[in-house]
Amino acid sequence: MNKRITVYILLFVLLNTFIQQNLFANTNHSQNSMLHIPTETKRWFDLAVEYEKNGKIEESIQTYRQALHHAEYENNLQLKAQILNNLAILLSDSGLRQEGIELSYKAYEAYLMLADSARAANVKINIGTDYIDEGKFEEALKVMLEGLELRIQCGDSTNLAAYYLNIGDVYKQLNIDKKWKLFLEKARTLAATPNYATFDTKICILNELGSMYDDNKAYDQAISAYQEMYNLSKKEGFINGMATALNNLASVYLETRQNKKALLATQESLTLNKKDNNYYGLVFSNNLMGDVYLALGNTFEAKQYYKEGINLANKYDFKTEFVNSYEGLYKTYRKEGNWKEALYYHEQTHRLTDSLQNNELQEKVLEIEAKYQAEKKERQIELLHNENELKNARIKLQNVYIWGVSFLFILVSAGSVWIVRQKRLKQRAKQVELEQKLLRSQMNPHFLFNSLGAIQSYMLKNDGRKAAFYLSNLSSLMRSILKNSREEVISLQEEKETLEKYLVMHKLRLGERLNYVVSVSDELDQEEVYLPPMMIQPFVENAVIHGIEPMDKEGIIQVRFYKDGNLLVIQVDDNGVGIQDSSKNKNAAHVSYALQIFKERVANLKKRYGTEILYSIIAKDPSIQSGTLVTVKIPLKSF
């Protein structure tokens, strides 16, 4: 058991420290130093900053571009550097990361020409965070090390420990543990010097150190780091930090079988989270309390806390802790020998964690199910044996022929039952495997990562309304996907709503480059027409990623539902680059994977319902209009 959490308020601190410094501190400095320069560039710059403060990101980007044009015309290098930096950050946060990186390099060169090494170093860190967002950890490491060297050379030591902590985290992502530990220890050493680390940085360093020591089973050092984190947070009145340190301490105590200490730490953490109205902390602490009581052998108390964790996770929509609560109940019931309940909660865990857990999850489900089925089968065999004894007593006087026929009948019956059961188990396993593939294709980690990154950008711009809207849309989309993946059929209305939520998140990332229309003909009753869930989502995803996204011009996707005789016809029509150009893309394998899942589902539906689903994928004539037209035809009232 090794649960560790990170302080909520720090999640954005290290990742965006330098972005915030550039975006606001540098902006204010530049504005103050140029306050009495009433140039055309300055007027456009001030307007762009005002748009940005008010959350009008698209207007701010366009205005910054105008300001950049005037800065180049007026040869105003100082304003040009600031405009490039601010514009690069906005573009990256809006999903146009490649252009953002290019402008960041130009800002870096401009700051070097101005002999402003501190800001040039900060820009390097900005570029590094962009590379991290793209998963290019080697490039991120290179530019961050260059930024660190430049920062050291310029003699500005303000929060220098954060540089080492960020670079150490990149080494951690690259699984270069030796370097990770080296930079983490260096960050800790620097943090002991005034001005070299902010309070937030110190807390993050101690939390990361505790994690490192725990991973290496250096439990005494891990306890020392978390205890220091607790003391520092308590001194500053940082309740969230205190609660986090206590939870991590409790996890280490559990690993070292110091269960009573774990209980005391978790109880205090639970009290602090209630005081701080930290809803996630409350869910986490309840689950951890369940772990502690389970370790103490008190399964009754363990179940109470896990169930409270489920209630809170459901109320505040914390998916990860939902999984931990279900898994805790599974372990508790398994310890009690209640295989039926254990199977139920393990299946709940399985449905929620397909995109988070590894292959061991399915093995555990099959293990528990096998034990449950084995016990059930033993009881059935015992019952059958008793019935046979009674039957043998009644037919004792009958001749050998009748006895032999009866015995043969029993054997055939038992064999038939076994064969039917095996067939059903195989069919169920195939269905579960297909559901897993489908769910993985819908909850694409890259899609989720980009969506959360775009939402985070709105939070950083203090545009809470847009951030809340998109976060709510993403949460609703994930709930729909998880719900629909467990259903055999859903209404046309639910399918349409899920597609629209999915396209909204892509629209957030691509902006004006993507337009879409989802239409349903009037002759279709959306609440009465049913179809298998997410049938065309793979084609919509391909249209966005492999059709529209590679284009430089505006793209449009049209999804049409209409009736043709006794058929429901669904069309996905895009004006993207087309199948030929798309197949040259490095992600072309994903296209074939999505099509493979679709074909398997079609075959499975035909086998289960006898329904013939027809489909075609047509590349449009590029001389008329590029793009791809996908058509799927499903018989109405087949499910």
Angle between the 40-53 and 57-74 helix axes, to the nearest 10 degrees? Answer: 160
Pure H helices in 485-621: 492-510, 537-542, 578-583, 588-609
108-152 pLDDT, tens digit per residue, is: 999 999 999 889 998 998 898 888 878 888 888 899 899 889 888
Q: Would you say 428 and 362 are in contact if contact means Cβ atoms under 8 Å apart?
A: no
Among 105-119, 155-169, 452-466, top mean pLDDT goes to: 105-119
Q: Which residue has the higher pLDDT, 252 or 599?
A: 252
20-57 pLDDT, tens digit per residue, is: 443 334 334 444 444 344 588 899 999 999 998 888 99
| pLDDT at residue 124 in the model | 92
| pLDDT at residue 388 in the model | 61
Region 385-410: mean pLDDT is 65
Q: Which of 447, 451, 452, 470 is nearest to 55 (CA)?
A: 470
**Strands 514-520 and 555-564, bridge-based pairing:** parallel
Query: C-alpha angle with apex 534: 566 to 569, nearest 5 degrees?
Result: 25
Q: Would you say 636 and 529 are in contact if contact means Cβ atoms under 8 Å apart?
A: yes
Average pLDDT of the chain, as a whole number: 80
Element (H, E) at 437: helix 400-442
Among 109-113, 132-136, 379-383, 605-609, top mean pLDDT goes to: 109-113
The answer to whether residue 159 scores a pLDDT higher than 90 is no
User: In the structure, what pLDDT confidence band is assigned to residue 451 with cuts at 50, 70 and 90?
Assistant: confident
Q: Would you say 293 and 281 are in contact if contact means Cβ atoms under 8 Å apart?
A: no
The answer to whether residue 11 scores a pLDDT higher than 70 is no
Q: Where are the domains of the chain?
A: 445-635
Region 341-351: mean pLDDT is 81
Region 261-274: mean pLDDT is 94
- Cα end-to-end distance, the chain, whole Å: 45
User: In the structure, what pLDDT confidence band is assigned to residue 84 with cuts at 50, 70 and 90?
Assistant: very high
The answer to whether residue 262 scores a pLDDT higher than 60 is yes
| pLDDT at residue 79 in the model | 93
199-220 pLDDT, tens digit per residue, is: 988 999 999 899 889 988 999 9
User: In the structure, what pLDDT confidence band is assigned to residue 516 with cuts at 50, 70 and 90?
Assistant: very high
| pLDDT at residue 30 in the model | 40
d(CA 432, CA 428): 6
Query: From the CB of residue 581, how many other CB atoms can be counted at a distance below 10 Å?
Result: 16
Tokens linked to 149: 């060297």
User: In the structure, what pLDDT confidence band is assigned to residue 404 with cuts at 50, 70 and 90?
Assistant: low
The answer to whether residue 436 scores a pLDDT higher than 80 is no
Percent of the chain with pLDDT over 90: 37
The answer to whether residue 105 scores a pLDDT higher than 90 is yes
Percent of the chain with pLDDT over 70: 76
Burial of 601-610, coded b for 16+ CB within 10 Å and e otherwise, reads bbeebeeeee
The answer to whether residue 588 scores a pLDDT higher than 70 is no
Tokens linked to 355: 């995109």
| pLDDT at residue 200 in the model | 87
Q: Would you say 519 and 558 are in contact if contact means Cβ atoms under 8 Å apart?
A: yes
Q: How far is CA 397 from the centre of its chain?
A: 71
Nearest-Å Rg of the Cα atoms of the chain is: 30
| pLDDT at residue 444 in the model | 57
d(CA 140, CA 4): 26
Element (H, E) at 587: none
The answer to whether residue 340 scores a pLDDT higher than 60 is yes
The answer to whether residue 613 scores a pLDDT higher than 60 is yes
Q: Would you say 127 and 22 are in contact if contact means Cβ atoms under 8 Å apart?
A: no
Query: From the CB of residue 616, how many other CB atoms can be counted at a distance below 10 Å?
Result: 10
Q: Which of 311, 300, 294 is nearest to 257 (CA)?
A: 294
Q: Would you say 357 and 487 are in contact if contact means Cβ atoms under 8 Å apart?
A: no
Tally of residues, the chain: 639
Q: Would you say 342 and 333 are in contact if contact means Cβ atoms under 8 Å apart?
A: yes
**Strands 555-564 and 614-619, bridge-based pairing:** unpaired
SS3 call for 568: strand
Q: Would you say 250 and 6 are in contact if contact means Cβ atoms under 8 Å apart?
A: no
Distances (CA, A) of 390 to 173, 393, 404, 630: 68, 5, 16, 64
User: In the structure, what pLDDT confidence band is assigned to residue 83 with cuts at 50, 70 and 90?
Assistant: very high
For 159, left (φ over 0), alpha (ψ -120 to 50), or beta? Answer: left
Region 144-161: mean pLDDT is 86
Q: Which of 8, 15, 14 is nearest to 242 (CA)?
A: 8
Element (H, E) at 561: strand 555-564
The answer to whether residue 533 scores a pLDDT higher than 70 is yes
Q: Which residue has the higher pLDDT, 39 or 569?
A: 569
Q: Which residue has the higher pLDDT, 9 or 351?
A: 351
Q: Which residue is it, tokens 């001389």?
A: 623
462-501 pLDDT, tens digit per residue, is: 777 877 887 888 888 888 887 877 788 899 999 999 999 9
- What is the Cβ-side half-sphere exposure of residue 587, based on CA atoms within 13 angstroms? 12
| pLDDT at residue 344 in the model | 87
The answer to whether residue 624 scores a pLDDT higher than 80 is yes
Q: Percentage helix, strand, coil, to 5, in the chain?
A: 75, 5, 20
Q: How far is CA 227 from the centre of its chain?
A: 31
pTM above 0.85, yes or no: no
Phi and psi torsions of 340, nearest 5°: -65, -50
Ranking 130-139, 416-425, 620-629 by mean pLDDT, the lowest is 416-425
Angle between the 360-394 and 400-442 helix axes, to the nearest 10 degrees? Answer: 160
Ranking 131-140, 300-309, 314-323 by mean pLDDT, the lowest is 314-323
CATH domain 445-635 topology: Heat Shock Protein 90 (3.30.565)
**What is the amino acid identity at position 69?**
H
Q: How far is CA 607 from the centre of its chain?
A: 34
Distances (CA, A) of 19 to 13, 27, 46, 255, 457: 10, 11, 19, 38, 11
Region 541-551: mean pLDDT is 90
d(CA 195, CA 159): 6
Residue 218, Cβ density class (10 Å: 0-12 exposed, 13-18 middle, ≥19 buried): middle
Q: Would you say 174 and 138 are in contact if contact means Cβ atoms under 8 Å apart?
A: yes
For 556, left (φ over 0), alpha (ψ -120 to 50), or beta? Answer: beta
